[in-house]
Amino acid sequence: MLDRNDLTKFSRKSYRDGYLQTKVRGMIAYQIQALRERTGLSQTDFAKKIGKTQSVVSRLEDTEYGRVTVQTLLDIACALDVALVVKFASYADFLSQTRDASAAALQPATIQESLSQAQSSQQLAGSAYRHFLEFGTSQGDASAQNYQANDNGNEQANGAALLVYSKGSSILGQVSQAGAA
């Protein structure tokens, strides 16, 4: 969380403009390098993958370059199956969103990884949901029986159910069921 002291130094326009330009150039260069390293490719092989030359990749990974086009960023995003977000923001949002420049923070999941993770999460939620119903009904838990008996179309229609179940006064757990059918 940012405090007033974090933002006070940005009251001077020359500082604010210099910081913004340096940080954006650096973050783009670091992210392109992190993405390339994640693929395990050399600059030459990465260049082939994104339809550029090795010298272009070298410039893109240079924090002083600063002449990256949105089209080049789109070419990289499409070649690597990741999304691209370009937006104007408040300085408070900018500072909080760019605070972590670690390689892990700069390497988004590909669409395939996201789909695989979503499928795994759905399977895990389905397993937890089944366990809940088995546990709740085998333990004589009225709330599980009520939920199972009243499993209506609204929760199924919107593809998600959030379920908190209890026994006596203590909460035993929570299950999020995504895409239940």
Residue 58 shares a structural domain with residue 104: yes
Could you read off the pLDDT of 160-174 as tens digits, one per residue? 433 333 334 334 444
Our count of domains for the chain comes to 2
- Segment 27-34 shows an average pLDDT of 96
Please give the C-alpha separations between residue 130 and each of 21, 98, 125, 146, 151, in angstroms, as whole numbers. 52, 41, 9, 15, 13
- CATH at residue 18: 1.10.260.40
Residue type, 80: L
Residue 16 shares a structural domain with residue 87: yes
Residue 139 shares a structural domain with residue 101: no
Q: What does pLDDT average to over the chain?
A: 79
Q: 43-65 burial string, b = 16+ CB within 10 Å, else e?
A: beebbeebebeeebbebbbeeee
Top mean-pLDDT range of 41-45, 97-101, 154-158, 170-174: 41-45
Whole-model pTM above 0.85?
no
- Segment 48-69 shows an average pLDDT of 96
Could you read off the pLDDT of 67-110 as tens digits, one per residue? 999 999 999 999 999 999 999 999 999 999 999 999 999 999 99
pLDDT band at 129 (very low <50, low <70, confident <90, very high): low
Residue 48 shares a structural domain with residue 69: yes
Give residue 99's domain range.
4-108
